[in-house]
């Protein structure tokens, strides 16, 4: 059985405050996009609990550390279904702020629920997958949402961007979560993103921002340059997604990929 797990972008990201447990409270908009990985499972003929193989973008960690396998083992420990051969084809780049791994985990759980008729509700699946990452639960419903606290609390929003185009660019820059938070200065905004996102998209350029850009752009000026070029090419709104390093622009028309972008990972589609 085969499924496709999609990526997301963050539209705005405010670091509101540092928590007593060392994490940060934030607010952001999660919006699903059509960039996809593929996950396939089949009944195993061997004696192992699972087999794991991968293709596409190389994965440089042990299978047992892959979040797809962690999701599989989490659910199998509860429901004890037959062992599976797992194959993951990666197209969503790593370290991009696109939630590719989180989506893999959520879609593995949805796939197992479907194949073995486990009867888990969306709420139950959100509970399971939240054990693996703060943004994983978003991909169970996979609809636009306002995320708050650690990014694990979700509130559905009405945000229709159909008809717009998206161009996403990811240079070969890896930004760790620790690095992204190192120079961040929490600040509670005057108006919540939940309110700002309802304004016309033409207003977003001046009202909606990603706080990580303030700490990351000075260290990686190429990212700031790409954002500037996206606006010069006619983007209505452009920003970094999550803690980077991908940037995206939202356009009314099909955007042109500039020659200097071709050395980077580029992806274009309709929203």
164 belongs to an annotated ligand binding site? no
Angle subtended by helix axes 67-79 and 122-129, to nearest 10: 120
93 belongs to an annotated ligand binding site? yes
Percentage helix, strand, coil for the chain under 3-state DSSP, each rounded to 5: 30, 30, 40
Could you give the angle at the alpha carbon of 38 between the alpha carbons of 34 and 39, nearest 5°?
A: 135
| Dist. CA 2–CA 203, nearest whole Å | 40
The answer, yes or no, to whether the previous bond of 245 is cis (omega within 30 of 0) is: yes
94 belongs to an annotated ligand binding site? yes
Catalytic residue from among 8, 70, 110, 170: 8
At residue 167, the 3 state secondary structure works out as: strand
The pair phi, psi for residue 200, each rounded to 5°, is -55, 145
103 belongs to an annotated ligand binding site? yes
Could you give the angle at the alpha carbon of 253 between the alpha carbons of 191 and 243, nearest 5°?
A: 45
127 belongs to an annotated ligand binding site? no
101 belongs to an annotated ligand binding site? yes
95 belongs to an annotated ligand binding site? yes
12 belongs to an annotated ligand binding site? no
106 belongs to an annotated ligand binding site? no
DSSP 215-255: HHTTT-HHHHHHHHHHHHTT-SEEEE-TTSS-EEEEESSPP
Known catalytic residue at 135: yes
Catalytic residue from among 37, 110, 135, 211: 135
**Of the candidates 63, 46, 45, the residue with the CA atom closest to the CA atom of residue 54:** 63
Q: Which residues are catalytic?
A: 8, 135
Binding residues for ATP: 93-103
């Amino acid at each position: 059985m085969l499924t496709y797990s999609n990526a997301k972008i963050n539209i705005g990201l405010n670091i509101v405050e540092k928590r007593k447990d060392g994490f940060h409270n934030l607010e952001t908009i999660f919006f699903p996009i059509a960039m996809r990985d593929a996950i396939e499972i089949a009944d195993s003929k061997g004696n192992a609990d699972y087999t794991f193989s991968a293709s596409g973008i190389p994965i440089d960690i042990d299978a047992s550390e892959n979040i797809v396998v962690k999701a599989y083992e989490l659910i199998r420990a509860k429901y004890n279904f037959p062992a599976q051969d797992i194959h993951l084809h990666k197209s969503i780049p790593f370290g991009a702020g696109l939630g590719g791994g989180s989506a893999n985990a959520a879609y593995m759980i949805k796939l197992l629920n479907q194949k073995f008729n486990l009867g888990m509700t969306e709420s139950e699946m959100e509970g399971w997958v939240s054990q693996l990452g703060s943004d994983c639960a978003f991909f169970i419903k996979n609809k636009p949402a306002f995320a708050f606290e650690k990014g694990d609390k979700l509130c559905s929003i009405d945000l229709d961007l159909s008809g717009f185009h998206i161009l996403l660019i990811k240079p070969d820059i890896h930004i760790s979560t620790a690095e992204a938070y190192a120079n961040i200065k929490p600040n509670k905004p005057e108006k919540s993103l939940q309110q700002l996102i309802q304004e016309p998209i033409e207003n977003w350029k001046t009202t909606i921002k990603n706080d990580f850009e303030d700490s990351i752009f000075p260290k990686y000026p190429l990212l700031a340059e790409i954002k500037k070029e996206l606006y010069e090419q006619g983007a209505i709104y452009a920003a970094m997604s999550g803690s980077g390093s991908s940037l995206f622009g939202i356009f009314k028309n099909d955007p042109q990929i500039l020659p200097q972008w071709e050395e980077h990972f580029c992806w274009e589609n309709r929203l």
